[in-house]
Amino acid sequence: MSCTHTSDVLVVGGGVIGLVTAWRAAQRGFTTTVVDPAPGGGAAQVAAGMLAAVTELHHGEQTLLGLNLESARRYPDFVAELTELTGHDLGYRRCGTLAVALDADDRALLRELHALQHRSGLTSEWLSGRECRRLEPMLAPGVRGGLRVDGDHQIDPRRLAGALLTACERAGVVLRPAWAERLNVRRGRAVSVTVSDGDELAAGSIVLAGGSLSGRLAGVPEAVLPPVRPVKGQVLRLTVPKRYAPFLSRTVRAVVRGSQVYLVPRENGELVVGATSEELGWDTTVTAGGVYELLRDAHELVPGITELPLTETRAGLRPGSPDNAPLLGPTELPGLLLATGHYRNGVLLTPVTGDVLAHALVTGELPDEARAFTPRRFGANDRTDAVLTEQLA
């Protein structure tokens, strides 16, 4: 027989964004439930964990840069708090990043990025090919120059997810291993979610944090449905045998023939190589072509990679949004908040997202640093009040 369970906050989605939201909500004294068939899973199981606010800067994303930098600034305290609480080592490495160029076109692109970083007040240093190889001797002799960014660090997202799960459990968060099937709206307010075992989970506030699936929950009125789409990324994991260590001492990345490739070396010997970026809907197949392109490009950058055991291939789905920035906080539908659309920056934005959503749950408002990321920036403007009222009733 189905029954109703009630909590103050219900989080739909147990990836790192959902878990950090639930943990921070529980710390504020809210009774909190997370619904997810496999809490701790999601895109973080595939992600490389680069905290790359500076090296992943793009034209037109200055507002997002502010949030990315704010989250990077919060990372050391966030990691210290989680580690102290759970005893988990999160693999947080302040090792820096080296972005290199292999030909004249890549070099021009990197020079352009350097100028943009400079105009944005960010710290990065231009190095000659020889200087790059002095830092990272495994780099190909053909490297033409590079950008050294000591402020872009890394974390192990799988460990982060594990630690957040433990932190949630310790804070009393209830984990419901089920699919969220339908949002229930009554008298113009989101009141509950029906889950796959038939139960209804009622809550004062419902946070939709389902990553790329966030736009698919039945029952969410179209006017507030997040415009999130899946962007596939294929990622490889290799192992650096002890005799080769240190193979690389920092994250190394490049754009090779227009595609991003990065190599993220962990202290435990894992080397993550990513990532493809494919608009193929819900497809998570690992393809021969994807693996080939990643290995081909990584090999051009670091030829010695072909000696390493290939231990894992995997594909995940980034939650892309129309402006590549997340959707955070209250929607036009009372009782429904969003924490989704983090696209390429989910791991980086985890600390600030937890704080922002906790603030929104307590006050009903977004804090200053997150005002630009309101979900209300999409859609509502081009609908008449009458249409909105009808959809949300």
With CB atoms as reference, the residue minimizing the distance to ligand GLY is: 344
Q: Cβ 346 to ligand GLY, closest distance in Å?
A: 8
Instruction: Give the residue with the Cβ less far from ligand GLY, 203 or 261.
Output: 261
Instruction: Give the residue with the Cβ less far from ligand GLY, 49 or 129.
Output: 49
Instruction: Give the residue with the Cβ less far from ligand GLY, 224 or 264.
Output: 264
Instruction: Give the residue with the Cβ less far from ligand GLY, 50 or 161.
Output: 50
Q: Cβ 110 to ligand GLY, closest distance in Å?
A: 17
DSSP designation for 267: T
How far is Cα 213 from Cα 219, in angstroms, rounded to an integer? 14
- For position 229 contacting ligand GLY by CB under 6 A, the verdict is no
Q: Cβ 214 to ligand GLY, closest distance in Å?
A: 17
Q: Could you tell me which residues come within 8 angstroms of residue 184 by beta carbon, excluding any fewer than 6 positions away?
A: 190, 191, 192, 193, 194, 200, 219
Residue whose C-alpha is closest to residue 271's, from 245, 233, 232:
245
How far is Cα 236 from Cα 127, in angstroms, rounded to an integer? 28
Q: Which of 35, 44, 46, 50 binds ligand GLY (CB under 6 A)?
A: 50
How far is Cα 303 from Cα 286, in angstroms, rounded to an integer? 23
Binding residues for ligand GLY restricted to 235-274, rule: CB under 6 A? 274
- For position 49 contacting ligand GLY by CB under 6 A, the verdict is no
How far is Cα 234 from Cα 328, in angstroms, rounded to an integer? 27
Binding residues for ligand GLY restricted to 268-287, rule: CB under 6 A? 274-275
Which helix (H) or strand (E) segment holds residue 202: the answer is: strand 200-208
b/e per residue, 303-328, with b = 16+ CB within 10 A? eebeebeeeebebbbbbbbebbbbbb
Instruction: Give the residue with the Cβ less far from ligand GLY, 27 or 45.
Output: 45
Instruction: Give the residue with the Cβ less far from ligand GLY, 190 or 209.
Output: 209
* Token reading at 311: 């231990």
Q: Cβ 288 to ligand GLY, closest distance in Å?
A: 20
Q: Cβ 137 to ligand GLY, closest distance in Å?
A: 25
Instruction: Give the residue with the Cβ less far from ligand GLY, 7 or 117.
Output: 117
Binding residues for ligand GLY restricted to 99-158, rule: CB under 6 A? none
Are 321 and 327 spatial neighbours (Cβ–Cβ below 8 Å)? yes
Q: Cβ 2 to ligand GLY, closest distance in Å?
A: 39
Phi first, then psi: what are they for 15, rounded to 5°?
A: -80, -170
Q: Cβ 233 to ligand GLY, closest distance in Å?
A: 5
Q: Cβ 262 to ligand GLY, closest distance in Å?
A: 7
* Token reading at 249: 């001492």
How far is Cα 49 from Cα 51, in angstroms, rounded to an integer? 6
Binding residues for ligand GLY restricted to 181-220, rule: CB under 6 A? none
Instruction: Give the residue with the Cβ less far from ligand GLY, 317 or 328.
Output: 317
Cis, bond preceding 275 (omega within 30 deg of 0)? yes
Q: Could you tell me which residues come within 8 angstroms of residue 224 by beta carbon, excluding any fewer than 6 positions away?
A: 331, 332, 333, 336, 375, 379, 391, 392
Total interface residues for ligand GLY by CB under 6 A: 7
Instruction: Give the residue with the Cβ less far from ligand GLY, 194 or 350.
Output: 350
Whole-number CA gyration radius for the chain:
21
Binding residues for ligand GLY restricted to 56-95, rule: CB under 6 A? 56
Q: Cβ 152 to ligand GLY, closest distance in Å?
A: 11
Q: Which of 233, 326, 335, 375 binds ligand GLY (CB under 6 A)?
A: 233
* Token reading at 354: 């937890």
Q: Which of 232, 318, 342, 359 binds ligand GLY (CB under 6 A)?
A: 318
Q: List the alpha helices (DSSP H) in the chain.
A: 16-27, 62-86, 104-119, 129-135, 157-170, 288-301, 350-363, 385-392
Instruction: Give the residue with the Cβ less far from ligand GLY, 250 or 344.
Output: 344
- For position 344 contacting ligand GLY by CB under 6 A, the verdict is yes
Tell me which residues touch ligand GLY (CB under 6 A).
50, 56, 233, 274-275, 318, 344
